[in-house]
Amino acid sequence: QIFYADDAASAGKLENIKKWWSSLQNDGPIYGYHPKPSKTWLIVKPEFHDAASKLFPDINVTAEGHRYLGSYIGSEEGKANFVNKEVDEWIKDITGLAEI
């Protein structure tokens, strides 16, 4: 498990991640950490998507990937989409600055 400020992360087999998640939900509030399932993402390989969705019905599960700490974890296609969106936004911002 890894913590960066108020972002927690874990990796491993689904059953072990489930134990970690349950522990985090139970023990986190004691230390002022309140995990929000609606803001939580589980990134899995495509072959584990259905099992993960059943094991973690209250959190978001994806096999494509998701943004994490300003970067992206996931499939090559997902990474390409993420980078393209970021570059498009940068171009828009630079163009706007150039017009000032």
Which residues face 71 on adjacent strands?
A: 68
How far is residue 56's CA from residue 68's CA, in Å, rounded to a whole number?
A: 19
Report the pLDDT averaged over residues 26-50: 93
How high is the pLDDT of residue 70? 84
Cβ within 8 Å of residue 83, ≥6 positions away = 72
Helix, strand and coil percent figures for the chain, each rounded to 5: 55, 20, 25
Report the pLDDT averaged over residues 61-88: 92
How high is the pLDDT of residue 54? 97
Tell whether the model's pLDDT for residue 63 goes beyond 90.
Answer: yes
How high is the pLDDT of residue 71? 87
Tell whether the model's pLDDT for residue 1 goes beyond 90.
Answer: no
Report the pLDDT averaged over residues 67-73: 88
Half-sphere exposure of 18 (CA within 13 A, CB side): 11
Tell whether the model's pLDDT for residue 2 goes beyond 80.
Answer: no
Report the pLDDT averaged over residues 8-32: 93
How far is residue 60's CA from residue 75's CA, in Å, rounded to a whole number?
A: 16
